[in-house]
Amino acid sequence: PRLVTLAAAQLGPIQKAEGRDVAVGRMVRLMERAHKRGVEVVVFPELALTTFFPRWYEEDISRADHWYEHAMPSNETAPLFEAARKYGIGFHLGYAEKTPDGHRYNTAIYVHPSGEVVLKYRKVHLPGHRDFDPIRKVQHLEKRYFEVGNLGFPVIRAPVGGQEANIGMMICNDRRWPEAWREMGLQQVEIVMLGYNTPSLNMDNRGFEAHHLRVEHSHLSIRSGCYQNACFGVATAKGGTEDGHELFGHSIIVNPQGEIMAQATSWGDELITADCDLDDCNLGRTTIFNFAAHRRTEAYQRITTQ
């Protein structure tokens, strides 16, 4: 067996007025708890350092600059890197990135306990809209605040705890797109790390969506992505009432059979863990999802041309 202990480190709400020090302090405490429970990797949510700011409209985008990280690590995020070193834990962090040449991305990194950033991903599927939308009850301005990620869906072989594993990342809305999973499945991904911020209610106000299906659709997407690509998924939410708006939490860890191994039950800071045998990826990928044997690419032309 190739055992590795993974954790989803769910965060409760982060209010607009709270500084990064508050979130980072909470994350360091979760890493301390993770260490006590033998965890080797923790996955934090999307945009883990601040409130989910794309709900707030800024006409002049430069006035939103304070939501972005201009360096990683920085003075404010250094305690995460120190905790990683101290506890020997790798971590996945989602944050808003502003590059030196002025590009903005919704980004995630995987950091080795040594402090090295071994993998970076920039969100490809940006939901929502670019301009203020008067029909919506709450804005979702990801298309305003971020450019489409320009790194594709990279998968690399990296040290994960005591093992080497093929790791990849996606961010929130990406999990609903089978193409994102398959891009990584085709690279033999074994662990997909993903963070999300998903409102409990559909704020689009353009049609009825049954509220009880919101969590269902999230879990359905992650479970099928893991099953159909024979990989583990660690899906970590920010949950609870943030700036008056509810995010649904329900973080999960899923195995290559599509089963939920662990699930958060609170909407606060909560660590869920699972002992994962990476060899469990072999069954699917050598049988029903042996891509080389069974995929029929000649029948899939529309997927990349439309």
Residues at the interface with ligand CDT (CB under 6 A): 46, 127-128, 140, 172-173, 176, 196-198
User: How far is residue 256 CA from its own chain's centroid?
Assistant: 18
Minimum CB separation of residue 188 from ligand CDT in Å reads 26
Minimum CB separation of residue 271 from ligand CDT in Å reads 22
Minimum CB separation of residue 8 from ligand CDT in Å reads 16
Q: For ligand CDT, give the closer residue by CB, 20 or 125.
A: 125
Q: For ligand CDT, give the closer residue by CB, 32 or 209.
A: 209
* Polymer length in residues for the chain: 306
Please pick, among 40, 69, 97, 123, the residue that the annotation labels catalytic.
123
Minimum CB separation of residue 249 from ligand CDT in Å reads 12
Note whether 262 and 279 are within 8 A (CB): no
Q: For ligand CDT, give the closer residue by CB, 201 or 260.
A: 201
Q: For ligand CDT, give the closer residue by CB, 197 or 255.
A: 197
Q: For ligand CDT, give the closer residue by CB, 195 or 284.
A: 195
Minimum CB separation of residue 150 from ligand CDT in Å reads 18
**Rounded Cα distance, 3 and 11, in Å:** 26
**Rounded Cα distance, 144 and 149, in Å:** 13
Q: Residue 229: enclosing H or E segment and its boundaries?
A: helix 213-229
36 catalytic, yes or no?
Answer: no
276 catalytic, yes or no?
Answer: no
DSSP 43-109: E--TTTTS--GGGS--SSGGGGGGGSBSSSS-TTTHHHHHHHHHHT-EEEEEEEEE-TTS-EEEEEE
Q: For ligand CDT, give the closer residue by CB, 90 or 128.
A: 128
**Rounded Cα distance, 142 and 52, in Å:** 10
231 catalytic, yes or no?
Answer: no
Distances (CA, A) of 47 to 85, 203, 210: 22, 20, 26
Amino acid at residue number 25: G
**Rounded Cα distance, 258 and 67, in Å:** 35
Note whether 45 and 267 are within 8 A (CB): no
Please pick, among 69, 97, 142, 172, the residue that the annotation labels catalytic.
172
Minimum CB separation of residue 241 from ligand CDT in Å reads 16
Residues near 273 by Cβ (< 8 Å), separated by ≥ 6?
A: 5, 6, 7, 34, 37, 38, 39, 253, 262
Active site residues: 46, 123, 172
